[in-house]
Amino acid sequence: MQHRDADIFGSIVSWQEAGHKVALATVLSTWGSAPRAVGSFLAVNQNGEFVGSVSGGCVESAVVTECQQAMVASEPRILEYGVTDDEAFEVGLACGGTIRILVEPFDPFDEIPKQCLAALRDRQHSVLLRDLSSDVSFSQGWRYWLPPESAINVRSHGYLAPDREVFGSVFVPHLRVLIVGGVHIAQALSRMLQLLDMTPIIVDPRPSWGNADRFPDIDIVAQWPDEAFADLGLDSGTAVVTLTHDSKFDDPALMAALMSDAFYVGALGGRKTNEKRIERFRDAGLDQASIDKLRSPVGLNIGAKDPSEIAVSIAAQIVQSRRQP
């Protein structure tokens, strides 16, 4: 599964390589129940072909036209639309509002789209800033990348501060969840994660557990977890869940994950099991800050009993960790 923004920037780069001018529309602000969130992209080429969406249909046609005009003028512009109640209802909203959109034209040689695509494909947490303040007015240097050490702290698209007209587009790794153990919970969890636009990866060296019959259309890595993690890498777009209930599988995986940039680390097991596990980690030299990242017993406490219910609780906790860090 590929990051949806990678499809958009992949199209832009392909159009540029074919010699086309292109434009990118980015949602800067919108009404509270919008079908497309702040930061959503729509890319358009000089022939009017487009990918992505900025409103779910309300203003797409007008934005495409504005993008083509911006290409001709070679000038960025900011658009603002009022959406009526009737227009909003047609795309599934209860009421209308306003939407503000930045349109940026790129010539075939502009490197920014290639840099955006590289950030997504290389799983680099990057932030592209655009200074939209009136004293800048798209002058030279209005668009620049935030330094990596600062970018890692910016998690969501939007203005960096309420009193600053500096908008950040955040390029984060596509969310993937490394599930250690091809057990019944993993079967239910992997399906739920796909519905949430996350990529599940089963890590299990045992052929009877990790196989295509049990996990159709799911990536399977038939390695010991610590070896698999070393090959896959554990970055800020990665969650790790261990489900084997076997310390020889779970412990190496958890220790590697807790010392990494993984945004979520969870382990199946009761409280007593977790207490013993933590003691083993302390004896192995793991510091308290790393240990505190562990979510165990894994999942939100919703009284889950069967594998599907437990999978729901785990998936919900992963979403919570991503949205409410």
**24, 163: one domain:** yes
Q: Mean pLDDT, to the nearest integer, of 265-275?
A: 92
**93, 235: one domain:** no
Q: Mean pLDDT, to the nearest integer, of 96-105?
A: 84
**108, 212: one domain:** no
**146, 60: one domain:** yes
Question: Does residue 92 register a pLDDT over 50?
Answer: no
C-alpha to C-alpha distance for 246 and 251, rounded to whole angstroms:
8
CATH number reported for the structural domain that contains residue 219 in this entry: 3.40.50.720
| Domain span including residue 259 | 176-323
Grade residue 97 by pLDDT with cuts at 50, 70 and 90: low
Let me know: does 35 contact 56? Beta carbons within 8 Å: yes
For residues 239 and 60, the model is more confident at 239
DSSP assignment string, 60-128: HHHHHHHHHHHHHHT--EEEEEEE-HHHHHHTT-SS-EEEEEEEEEE-TT-SHHHHHHHHHHTT--EEE
**161, 188: one domain:** no
**245, 113: one domain:** no
pTM: 0.76
Domain tally for the chain? 2
**180, 217: one domain:** yes
**162, 195: one domain:** no
**186, 108: one domain:** no
